[in-house]
Amino acid sequence: MSSIAFIGLGNMGAPMAHNLIKAGHSLTVFDLVPAAVQGLSDAGARAAGSAAEAVRGAEVVISMLPASKHVEALYLDNDLLSSIDPSALVIECSTIAPDSARKVAAAAQARGLAMIDAPVSGGTGGAAAGTLTFIVGGEPDALQRAMPVLQNMGKNIFHAGTAGAGQVAKICNNMLLGILMAGTSEALALGVANGLDPKVLSDIIAKSSGRNWATELYNPWPGVMEHAPASKGYAGGFGVDLMLKDLGLAAESALSSRSSIPLGELARNLYSLHSTGGSGKLDFSSIVNLYTHNT
């Protein structure tokens, strides 16, 4: 078992950290929210007063933060890399801009540190169940070192390529997810407006050509799936503003590569409209409210 520092204990980071404790790793944790640290401390982790304190002596450092600016501030502006043992492995699990991932990885490499970007897919449910998908960018040797730890948090691990490649693949996946959720919400709202039961319609779609992850595992209509955020007031889960951030990353990547993403841009506009209506902190499946006038 490894000595692990885990930084960032939000909706995704906290359950990931819990699974590492369950697997027998020695965990030291830090988050800017004291209650989040306390929750992991109660589960057996050692609480640190700062990120620098958390990484001191760690064999593996894992971070799960909201956006590129937070990752760059942690590793570069606050120079956390200088506090990490040169023999340690850094696993950066946030979803950020590929250029940011490459920038931090280059700084780590300059200090002799092995680092991979390993954004995740699977939502809070997958984080809690330990069934996440890790999409990795970095050197194969670093990934091999990370495998025993990643396997305690997820079931599927893909090597997308060199530094930043994990972020590119994650951005593509989340752009498609945003499009699918918006489309699923639109279809369900149309059916209900014409007298259909949302559960029946969802069951039909799930066994027909419109089937997708939203209809099968994360239905946006309240009451259709007991454990989906839609049935819990859209609390927890993956926030609207986080989806909006990822769609923005997709737009930036499209601009830099001169790619066309008309559906991605449309989804971004829909989530932006939804967020400005006061729903930014709700789960992204609440986009259905745009179609039902329940915002």
Span 64-90, pLDDT tens digits: 999 999 999 999 999 999 999 999 999
Span 152-162, pLDDT tens digits: 999 999 999 99
Q: How confident is the model at residue 97 (pLDDT cuts 50, 70, 90)?
A: very high
Q: Which helix (H) or strand (E) segment is 157 a member of?
A: strand 154-161
CATH number (3.30.365.10, 1.10.1040.10, 3.40.50.620, 3.40.30.10) of 168-293 reads: 1.10.1040.10
Q: What pLDDT does 295 receive?
A: 46
Span 153-198, pLDDT tens digits: 999 999 999 999 999 999 999 999 999 999 999 999 999 999 999 9
Which among 268, 273, 11, 278 is positioned nearest to 125, based on CA atoms?
Answer: 11
Catalytic residue among 170, 207, 245, 281: 170
Instruction: Verify whether residue 170 is a known catalytic residue.
Output: yes
Partners of 29 in beta bridges: 6, 47
pTM of the model: 0.88
CATH number (3.30.499.10, 3.40.50.720, 3.40.50.300, 3.40.30.10) of 3-162 reads: 3.40.50.720
Q: What pLDDT does 124 receive?
A: 84
CA dihedral 192, 196, 202, 205 (to 10 degrees): -110
- Domain locations in the chain? 3-162, 168-293
Q: Quickly count: other Cβ atoms within 10 Å of residue 260's Cβ.
A: 8
Q: Is residue 243 pLDDT above 70, yes or no?
A: yes
- The mean of the pLDDT values for the chain is 95
Which among 119, 85, 280, 292 is positioned nearest to 193, based on CA atoms?
Answer: 292
